Amino acid sequence: MNSNKFILLALFLSLLINTGCKNPFRYTDAKKVPVNAKERVQKNLEEGRGISFGIGKDSNRGGVFDFASSNELWRASIEILDFVSLTNASYSGGIIITDWFSGNKTENNNQSRELKITVRFLSNEIRADGIDVSIHERLCSLSEEKKCKIEKISSEISMDIKLAILKKAALLKKESNKKNKDKNKLKTKTN
């Protein structure tokens, strides 16, 4: 009786395991599957059909990591925009979005004006075309509740913020280079 239960359990487990497996004898077109193993692995990874454990040749290669603390453009943007709270600061997404903050009074006193700044990073390099600063304006009627108009505006403020970020980033880069140079001099003196 015990052996029957064991056989049934083993049969059930094998059926359960095999239902999740694909047919190993499925038809494949040789034109679509690369012959070279490395190309085949790369194709499977691109299609999301496998994982790489980093075992084998070239497994000791390190990746390239651009952390926010080492990116001068990111740090400069955070420092320049410290006057307003942030709703989104995603380094991996390459975007900083501020919360709405009060702008200047409008000519029409029955409206409130609020601004939102969005900084998009297009490059890690400190270049004028590596960053995009846009400003959105929200005008809300004080007389009518919940009647607001939001639009992207072209303003000198966006260019001023962009210029301030680029200047600050250049200064941070210069300081970083100086520290690295001093650190390398210190290493050569001790050796």
DSSP assignment string, 133-186: EEEEEEEEESSSTT-EEEEEE--HHHHHHHHHHHHHHHHHHHHHHHHHHHHHHH
- pLDDT digit string (tens) for 132-151? 999 999 988 877 777 889 99
Query: Comparing C-alpha atoms, which of 152, 123, 120, 145 is closest to residue 133?
Result: 120
CATH class of 68-174: alpha beta
Average pLDDT over residues 164-185: 86
Residue with the bigger pLDDT between 174 and 105: it is: 174
| pLDDT per residue as tens digits for the range 8-61 | 888 887 776 766 666 656 666 666 666 677 777 777 666 666 554 555 545 445
C-alpha distances (whole Å) from 48 to each of 22, 27, 51, 55, 56 are 15, 20, 8, 19, 20
Q: Label residue 52 exposed, middle or buried (CB < 10 Å: 0-12, 13-18, 19+).
A: exposed
Within 10 A of 12 (CB to CB), how many other CB atoms are there?
10
Q: Are 114 and 138 in contact (CB under 8 A)?
A: yes
State how far the Cα of 96 lies from the Cα of 114, in Å rounded to an integer.
17
CB 18 within 8 A of CB 11: no
Q: What is the predicted pLDDT for the residue at 82?
A: 92
Calculate mean pLDDT across residues 180-188: 72
d(CA 159, CA 69): 25
pLDDT computed for residue 92 by the predictor: 83
Band of the pLDDT at 69, cuts 50, 70, 90? low
50 versus 163: the higher-pLDDT residue is: 163
User: What are 127's two structure tokens?
Assistant: 């270049």
Q: Is 13 helix (H, G, I), strand (E, B) or coil?
A: helix
pLDDT at 99 over 80: yes
Mean residue pLDDT of the chain comes to 79
Binned at pLDDT 50, 70 and 90, residue 163 comes out as very high
pLDDT tens digit sequence for 13-22: 777 676 666 6
How far apart are alpha carbons 6 and 14 in whole angstroms? 12
| pLDDT value of residue 49 | 64
Task: Give the pLDDT confidence score for residue 165 in this predicted structure.
Answer: 95
Residue 140 · residue 111 · CB < 8 Å: yes
pLDDT of residue 100: 93
Per-residue pLDDT at 39: 76
